[in-house]
Amino acid sequence: MQLHNHSIPLMFVGQGVRTRLVGINGSQRTAHRLAELGFVPGVEVSVVADSGSALMVTVGNTRMALGYPLAQALLVAIPEKGSSR
Amino acid sequence: MTTVEMFINQAPFRYPSPIETELSHLAELFAQTPALAVYPPRWLAIQALEGDESLLNDIRELGGPAVAAALDASLERLHEIYGDDLDVALVDQRYRFVHTIAAQAVRRPVEAPVTLSDRIDRVVTHRWLGIPIFLAVMWVVFKLTTDVAAPFVDWLDGVLSGPVSRWTVALLAMVGADGGWVESLLVDGVIAGVGGVLAFVPVLLSLYFALALLEDSGYMARAAFVMDRLMRTLGLHGKSFLPMIVGFGCSVPAIYATRTLDSRRDRILTGLLVPFMSCSARLPVYVLIAMVFFPTSAGQVIFGLYLTGIVVAVGMGALLRQTLFRRQPQAPFVLELPPYRMPTLRGVWRQMWERTSSFVRKAGTIILATSIVVWLLLAIPIGEGSFAETPVDQSAFAAVANAATPVFAPLGFGRWETSGALVTGLIAKEVVVGTLMQVYGSAAEESSTPGDEPATLADDLTSIVNGFGEAIGAALRALPGIVGINLVHAEEEPVVEGLAAAIRTGFAASSGGHSTLAALAFMVFVLLYTPCVAALAANRHEFGTSWMLVSLLGQFAIAWLAAFVVFQGGVLLGMQG
């Protein structure tokens, strides 16, 4: 997996910020599992809540709870204001 | 449906060309290999490219060296293009296809509005408010199952021990079989035992009503998210919380519900902790004992017991994680959260009906059988007396139960009545109530005046209907009490006075005067001790005999220790009771 410029783990984005998924940084197993749940590159992801050990995220139209380690593995970019994909 | 199919037919789903080339190549090859005929060829090709290990093994073993070589060559060619991300690329392509269809079929506002689900989630899953809100919800649930259901329990109990018993005797008199051991079997055995348990159906209906509301509304999945941090102290994550909640209904489906967890370690650990979640079969025991000893604060005592179960589970989880499960890491936590929905009456009713009817079926089989066995043991004289005319303390039941009694003496309830009830409770926890009713019921009869007033069928029916109306009134008056406003002070004593007095006398005698402490220790013991045979069978089925034995022996030891601490600790601290 190559490193993306300007991408940060979803974990550090903060609540309510709209982001776009650019890649998954983890084992192939993890990457596959997350992709099957809808975490595919380009999809819009945002954090709704933080329980202190897991994030509640919106991905497309679904809502997921993700443990911190998985939230670390998701690399996202914050689109500049006004720009679309 | 037809429009969708037509659309798909016009634009068949295809992967991008390098993948598609390899897919059709492999699919063709698999189709020509008879050993792989059980699998649809294209599906098998997709699974192979996505790296499904067990299917890859099948292809290599069943397909022979030529197929294996072709597969490796395909994988090699794609690896050059996609690197390690081939499987993600395949999944991505499927999502792209779905989005293309959705984009043409679904109209969406440009700026996604903040939905009601979002607004609810902001409060309910708040980092600090989440757990207090969850506890408040659970508090309402338990007030509902105790205070609101109690008038109906009294009503059913009255109907079963009054009119139904009288009718049975009257029917027996018609065939000339009254006054003998048949009457005793039906009235003291079947009606007292099975009826005593059936009287708690209102409690279960309200518990299942509350659980169904929580599940169908979508809150339950949020609770799993909120509780994730707490579950980590058990060495588990939020997903294990769902079997735990099911465990408040019954341990058996809860143990089977552990199948949804991702690793064997999580399944076993959750399965071992589930029985500490107080199941609904234990609720009738608490209701009976708490109403006798804590008539004004039964709800609080019962809520405390549920919390005790959770606290013990937390302790055991931490202990097991440090010892038996030390070297095993946990699987990552992923859980889909459905949007909030208004529960439908039909959905809620179906859940209530399915769960309650399985309880009633159990009352008709296992509980009926144990009631008859207990009655037989009570009827057989060991000392003085003749069959079915035996004083209870001279019966075979007393003799058998006495053997187990010394074990319970340090806990404050070393009497044959209670130890006998605990032993029969291994068959099903609610049987503890049935047995207590049978053994104390006969003692109560002597002290209370027998209902000899000549009641006609019409009188009985009117009193049943009137009693039901009064129960509804009492339940409605109890509703404001759920949120802490107590409109009704000094509730009337709900349990039949003779029975309550007999139970009080029994506990006072076994505890040297500390009957309240002994009652508390008894409830703690019932909360924690060895799960019923059905739960043990489920445990063995899912995790094997050795884990079942861990559960069986471990829980008995924990229950004994906890009850010992409650009783002896209370006595040491000089608590009155």
DSSP B405-419: HHHHGGGT--SHHHH
The label of the residue with tokens 């999945």 reads B221
Treating both helix axes as pointing N-terminal to C-terminal, what angle do B497-511 and B515-528 enclose, rounded to 10 degrees? 90
**CA distances, B410 to each of B67, B86, B255, B332 (Å):** 72, 66, 32, 45
Contact of B306 with B278, CB cutoff 8 Å: yes
Q: Is B112 left (phi over 0), alpha (psi -120 to 50) or beta?
A: beta
Region B153-181: mean pLDDT is: 80
Q: Would the CB atoms of A66 and B334 count as touching at under 8 Å?
A: yes
pLDDT exceeds cutoff 70 at B493:
no
Q: Which residues contact B244 (CB under 8 A, 6 or more apart)?
A: B254, B270, B273, B274, B277, B313
Query: Which residue in chain A is spatially nearest to B226 when comparing CA positions?
Result: A51
**Contact check, Cβ <8 Å, A35/B118:** no
Q: Cα dihedral sign for B236, B242, B245, B250? A: negative
pLDDT per residue as tens digits for the range B306-353: 999 989 988 888 888 888 887 777 778 888 898 898 999 999 999 889
pLDDT of residue B112: 59
Please give the residue of chain A at the shortest CA–CA distance from B50: A32
Model confidence, pTM: 0.70
- Hey, are the CB atoms on A48 and B87 less than 8 Å from each other? no
**Which of B352-356, B466-470, B515-519 is the most confident on average?**
B515-519
Cβ contacts of B51 on chain A, cutoff 8 Å: 28, 32
Contact A67 B334 (CB under 8 A): yes
Q: Residue A4: what pLDDT?
A: 47
Tell whether the model's pLDDT for residue B69 goes beyond 80: yes
Chain A interface mutation, best of B49, B54, B91, B261, highest count of A Cβ atoms under 10 Å: B91
Candidates A34, A40, A74: best to mutate against B (most CBs of B within 10 A) is A40
pLDDT band at B397 (very low <50, low <70, confident <90, very high): confident
Alpha-carbon distance of B432 to B297, in angstroms, equals 22
Question: When comparing pLDDT for B121 and B393, which is higher?
Answer: B121
Residue B559 CA to residue B312 CA, distance in Å, equals: 10
- CATH number of the domain encompassing residue A26: 2.30.30.90
What is the ipTM for the molecules in this complex? 0.86
- In the block, residue with structure tokens 């497309």: A60
- When the pLDDT of each residue in chain B is averaged and rounded to a whole number, the result is 82
Q: Is B130 on the interface with A (CB under 8 A)?
A: yes
Q: Establish if A83 belongs to a structural domain.
A: no
CA gap B189, B76 in Å, rounded: 75
User: Tell me: the pLDDT tens digits for B256-286?
Assistant: 878 778 788 889 999 999 999 988 889 889 9
Interface contacts (A, B; CB < 8 Å): 103
Q: Which residue of B has its CA nearest to A72?
A: B332
Residue B321 falls in which region: left (phi positive, over 0), alpha (psi -120 to 50) or beta: alpha
Question: Do A24 and B127 count as a contact with CB atoms less than 8 A apart?
Answer: no
Give the per-residue pLDDT at B381: 81
To the question of domain B2-105 being in CATH 3.20.20.150, the answer is: no
Across the interface, do A31 and B88 touch by the CB < 8 Å criterion? yes
Best B120, B228, B341 member to test A by mutation, with max A CBs in 10 Å, is B228
pLDDT band at B482 (very low <50, low <70, confident <90, very high): low
Q: What integer pLDDT is reported at residue B385 of this predicted model?
A: 66
Beta bridge partner(s), residue A44: A20
Which residues of chain B lie closer than 8 angstroms to A63, CB-CB?
117, 121, 336-339
Q: Which residues 27-66 in chain A show a CB within 8 A of chain B?
A: 28, 30-38, 40-43, 48-54, 56, 62-66
Percent of chain B with pLDDT over 90: 14
| pLDDT tens digits, B537-572 | 888 888 988 999 999 999 999 999 999 999 999 998
CB B524 within 8 A of CB B565: no
**Amino acid letter at B323?**
T
Calculate how close chain B gets to A10, using CA atoms only, in Å: 15
**Interface contact B336-A62, CB threshold 8 A:** yes
| Element (DSSP H or E) covering residue B561 | helix B545-572
Least Cα separation, residue B375 to chain A (angstroms)? 53
Q: ∠ CA(B183), CA(B184), CA(B186), 5° rounding? A: 65
Q: Which residues contact B128 (CB under 8 A, 6 or more apart)?
A: none
- Closest approach of chain A CAs to the CA of B119, in angstroms? 10
Q: Taking residues B22-42, what's their average pLDDT?
A: 88
Q: How far is B254 from chain A (nearest CA, A)?
A: 21
Residues 6+ apart with CB under 8 A from B441: B188, B192, B499, B502
Contact A1/B at CB under 8 A: yes
Do the Cβ atoms of B332 and A69 come within 8 Å?
yes
Q: Is the pLDDT of residue B25 over 60?
A: yes
The Cα of A84 is separated from the nearest Cα of chain B by a number of Å equal to 12
Residue A82 located in a structural domain: no
Average pLDDT value for residue range B79-95:
83
Interface contact B337, partner A, CB < 8 A: yes
- SS3 state of residue A19: strand
Percent of chain B exceeding pLDDT 70 equals: 89
Please answer yes or no on whether B122 and A43 come within 8 Å at the CB atom. no
Structure tokens at B354: 């399915």
Closest-CA residue of B relative to A42 is B92
Closest CB from A36, A37, A65 relative to B228: A65
Task: For residue B43, give how far its alpha carbon lies from the nearest alpha carbon of chain A (Å).
Answer: 16
Please report, for chain B, the start and end positions of each structural domain, with discontinuous segments joined by +: 2-105, 132-450+472-572
A60: left (phi over 0), alpha (psi -120 to 50) or beta: left
Cβ A56–B125 below 8 Å, yes or no? yes
List CB contacts (< 8 A) between A21 and chain B: none
> Of B85, B88, B335, which has the smallest distance from its Cβ to A65's Cβ?
B335
The partner residue sitting opposite A53, judged by closest CB among B84, B229, B338, is B229
pLDDT, greater one: B215 or B1 = B215
Chain A residue at shortest CA distance from B128: A51
Chain A residues with beta carbon closer than 8 angstroms to that of B334: 33-34, 37, 64-67, 70
> Is the pLDDT score of B445 beyond 60?
no
* Segment holding A18, helix H or strand E: strand A18-24
Residue at A2 is within a domain: no
B379 and A CB contact within 8 Å: no
Cβ of B84 and A28 within 8 Å? yes
- The 3-state DSSP class for residue B451 equals coil
Confidence at residue B483, expressed as pLDDT on a 0 to 100 scale:
56
pLDDT of residue B163: 83
Which residues, including other chains, have CB under 8 Å from residue B480's CB and lie 6 or more apart? B486, B487
Of A51, A69, A70, the CB nearest to B225: A51
pLDDT in 10s for each residue of chain A, 85 residues: 444 457 889 988 888 888 999 988 877 778 888 888 889 888 899 998 888 889 999 998 889 999 998 999 899 998 765 444 4
Per-residue confidence band for B231, with pLDDT thresholds at 50, 70 and 90: confident
Say yes or no: B111 contacts chain A, CB-CB below 8 A.
no
Q: Chain B partners of A38 at a C-beta cutoff of 8 Å?
A: 95
Residue B292 · residue B211 · CB < 8 Å: no
8 Å CB contact of A65 and B88: no
| Host domain of residue A50 | 8-77
Q: Is the pLDDT of residue B506 over 80?
A: yes
CA-nearest residue of chain B to A27?
A: B84
